[in-house]
Amino acid sequence: MLKGTIKWREMYKPEKIKWEDIDKEAETGKVYRAGFCDRDGRTVLVMRPGVQNTNQLDGQIKYLVYCMENAIMNLPADQEQMVWLVDFEGWNLSMIPLMTAKETANVLQNHYPERLAYAILYNPPKIFETFFNVVKPFLDPKTQKKVKFVYPKEEESDKLMESCFDMDKMESAFGGRSASKFDKDEYGKMMRQDDQKMAQFWQSASTANGNREDSTHHAASSTAGTA
């Protein structure tokens, strides 16, 4: 394990983050796991930077990590990547300081590599193009290619959304036909249940890692004994 990864895990302790630790960050629904998947069954994370409700970077990153871990846990067995669906309603440049953008890019690229299938940026304002050009150097080329700009009532955008999602299940804010919306109380109940599953998830992962380390150590010892 890389030294940077160890330091990061010691700082944010993703295996120990619980809903109660970050529920304030979730009040406005700025990031949450959608109640639908894409057409390939991938978990969808909805992001709404226009409803940012806090200004503490550590808390924001901790919540992002919590959401990422939850999305990973809820991936089907045949998928390893998720989808981001970003709604720019109400967003302006002052809502995401450059430091926040850099740290977010750092966390996503260095600690969740290859977890992104694609990102839909829905109806971004023109000024976002300037912001994206500033952030772009922090993104690796593979990630840059996964970013899709989508605009309502635009033929190519409509085709892309239809190819990626069942629009009967998609929220109306993204041009879908579902009336569902984020409900913090209901979402909190679901996350508390997921917290219990997450504890088992991490325990299983820890046991698997321990078994691999034991096997490696045993193999090394056997090799040394026959040398």
Q: What is the pLDDT of residue 143?
A: 86
Contact (Cβ atoms closer than 8 angstroms) between residue 21 and residue 13: no
Q: What is the pLDDT of residue 221?
A: 45
Q: What is the pLDDT of residue 108?
A: 84
Q: What is the pLDDT of residue 94?
A: 77
Q: What is the pLDDT of residue 222?
A: 47
Q: What is the pLDDT of residue 181?
A: 93
pTM reported for the whole predicted model = 0.84
Residues of the chain with confidence (pLDDT) below 50:
1-3, 216-227
C-alpha dist (Å) from residue 76 to 1, 93, 168: 26, 36, 21
Contact (Cβ atoms closer than 8 angstroms) between residue 66 and residue 20: no
